[in-house]
Amino acid sequence: MTPTTPRKFTATPVTAGMSAGATAPAKAGGAAPVTTAGAGTGGGAAGGTTEKKRPWVLIGAIAVLVLVGVGVFGIWKWKNPGPPLLTAPTENLAKFILDDSKFHKLSFEKQHGYLDVMDQRYDDKECEKLWKAGKLTEMQMAELRDAAWMGKNMGKMQKYYSLPPGTQRKEYISKQAGKKFDDDGDAEEPAQPKPVSAEDEKVKVPKREKSWGKKLVATWPTDVQAQWKEYNKEIKKEEDRLEKEEMRKGTTKPTV
């Protein structure tokens, strides 16, 4: 038997770390080659999708926070309404003016604006109608009466200080003091008062609660408080002078 010559095999070199997309050598039997490109491509696609979703999640979270904030603010606003308009119903204005925790926080100018309107409403008997309807207590009616008086005299004080010192101011004080006012600051009844019904005759409006105005004055700037004190001092001095003058006229017998 003739000896068989050994078959020589050529070794195929294997590169470490096959690059992406390289095809593995086929096994005997004709198995299909396996590529490594698929795994890398699929991972990149999944990562891109996640990155695209993140901005939308963030936007949604911000939108939810905004809605919650608006809701909380709406509830707070409903429980803590701001000052009413000057054209609001008298009942609403009265409730706001008599709430020291809110009204005292306003500036002097804004306080005067509300009290000036209340003075007009008081003159129109709107406060009295609310009181008679049982919508105001006696104390509230007495305080509103003082609020109306304050509104009237705050305007007079501003008018007084708008005049130049000297003769014009003296004439203005004399004119205001010369008006006949009762202790509540209301004009005296005319010589022939209008007839009133039996029902109105039984009801007497409470006198004004002067302590309400004193508490209000304490909230004003120091310089305005000083002006208020000086103005009322001048009014009182002129009223006393006129009163003494009237007393002298009454005791003096006319000469024949």
pLDDT tens digits for 67-86? Answer: 776 666 556 555 666 899 99
Q: Confirm whether 36 is domain-assigned.
A: no
Q: Given pLDDT bands bounded at 50, 70 and 90, which one contains residue 117?
A: very high
pLDDT tens track for 31-45:
555 444 444 444 555
Q: Confirm whether 241 is domain-assigned.
A: yes
Q: Confirm whether 223 is domain-assigned.
A: yes
CB atoms within 10 A of CB 212: 21
Q: Confirm whether 30 is domain-assigned.
A: no
9-26 residues labelled b (16+ CB within 10 A) or e (exposed): eeeeeeeeeeeeeeeeee
Total domains in the fold of the chain: 1
**Cα separation values, 69 from 60, 66, 73, Å:** 14, 5, 6
Average pLDDT of the chain is 78
**Can you tell me the distance from the alpha carbon of 182 to that of 209, in angstroms, rounded to the nearest whole number?**
14
Q: Given pLDDT bands bounded at 50, 70 and 90, which one contains residue 183?
A: very low
Q: Confirm whether 8 is domain-assigned.
A: no
Q: Which domain holds residue 175?
A: 90-186+201-245
Q: Confirm whether 219 is domain-assigned.
A: yes
> Is residue 178's pLDDT more than 50?
yes
Q: Confirm whether 82 is domain-assigned.
A: no
Q: Confirm whether 256 is domain-assigned.
A: no
- Report helix angle 108-123 to 138-162, nearest 10: 120
* pLDDT for res 52: 63
Alpha helices in the chain (DSSP H): 37-79, 90-97, 100-103, 108-123, 126-132, 138-162, 167-178, 198-202, 210-217, 222-251
**Can you tell me the distance from the alpha carbon of 121 to that of 57, in angstroms, rounded to the nearest whole number?**
57
